[in-house]
């Protein structure tokens, strides 16, 4: 299918992933990462140095668009490495980027409001999950605090700052990959998950200094609100997939943060 994009001698193999739309192409020392129908947003991420460099974009006869990026030798960050200054700096660069924001707006992305998230949770939690007292406690927290977490600085958020999505290349360049869930929202969406999951609370202030903002009570509340939201969604998601071990992990986690 993709072979005719290349001269002979290129070897193409699936790259795994949920969508089945990603491939590796290799020819001697040259290696590319191919993706079908990735968003035009990728070009801006590449230009800003946030993802590995975009090499070319080609349109197939059937209308599909294939993008090719440099396939870098590197590795995911380990959880313990998320405390590094480079992580804070790259996240700040993303949140401060006007080209990224302009591009997402041009692509028709609406600003993500906390009401959207609350509605999604209220309508998405099933009877069994809602019967858990800690889940009802979490939901009450979200409902009671929604008016107190208003924030009017909207930025491009990645939405899943899990350590698996941070790529450190062999020449020590840090990237944040997998932008399928990108949104325009409160920076606390990304910051909250990163701090809650990876940074000991006594180090939050220092980490945020590297990022470039102070730790205020308002930021604390916004971070907690989004982390509780995400945790409730994780509980329901794992329940839906019958992954009860993971579901119980997130129920325990909800206890720990509430």
Active site residues: 160
CA separation for the pair 49, 69 (Å, rounded)? 12
Separation CA 104–CA 83 (nearest Å): 28
Q: Count CA atoms within 13 Å of residue 253 on its CB side.
A: 19
21 vs 14: CA distance, rounded Å:
8
Closest CA to 157 of 132, 186, 133: 186
Please, are residues 208 and 215 in contact by the beta-carbon 8 Å criterion? yes
| Alpha-carbon dihedral 49, 185, 92, 230, rounded to 10 degrees | -100
Taking each helix axis as running N to C, give the angle between helix 244-257 and helix 133-145, from 0 to 180 degrees, rounded to the nearest 10.
Answer: 50
């Amino acid at each position: 299918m993709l072979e005719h994009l290349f001269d002979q001698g290129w070897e193409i193999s699936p790259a795994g992933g949920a969508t089945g739309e990603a491939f590796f192409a290799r020819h001697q020392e040259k290696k590319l990462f191919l993706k079908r129908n990735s968003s035009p947003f990728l070009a801006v991420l590449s230009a800003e140095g946030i993802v590995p460099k975009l090499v070319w974009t080609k349109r197939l006869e059937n209308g599909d668009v294939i993008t090719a990026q440099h396939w870098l030798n590197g590795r995911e960050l380990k959880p313990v490495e998320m405390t590094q200054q480079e992580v804070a700096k790259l996240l700040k660069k993303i949140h401060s980027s006007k080209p990224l924001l302009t591009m997402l707006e041009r692509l028709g992305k609406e600003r993500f409001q906390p009401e959207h998230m609350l509605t999604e949770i209220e309508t998405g939690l099933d009877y069994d999950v809602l019967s858990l007292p800690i889940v009802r406690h979490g939901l009450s927290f979200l409902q009671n605090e929604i008016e107190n977490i208003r924030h009017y600085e909207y930025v491009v958020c990645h939405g899943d700052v899990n350590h698996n999505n941070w790529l450190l290349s062999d020449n020590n360049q840090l990237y944040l990959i997998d932008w399928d869930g990108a949104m325009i929202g409160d920076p606390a969406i990304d910051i909250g998950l990163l701090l809650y999951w990876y940074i000991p609370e006594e180090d939050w202030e220092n980490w945020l200094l590297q990022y470039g903002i102070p730790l205020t009570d308002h930021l604390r509340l916004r971070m907690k609100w989004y982390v509780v939201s995400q945790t409730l969604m994780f509980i329901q998601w794992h329940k839906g997939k019958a992954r009860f071990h993971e579901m119980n992990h997130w129920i325990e986690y909800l206890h720990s943060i509430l």
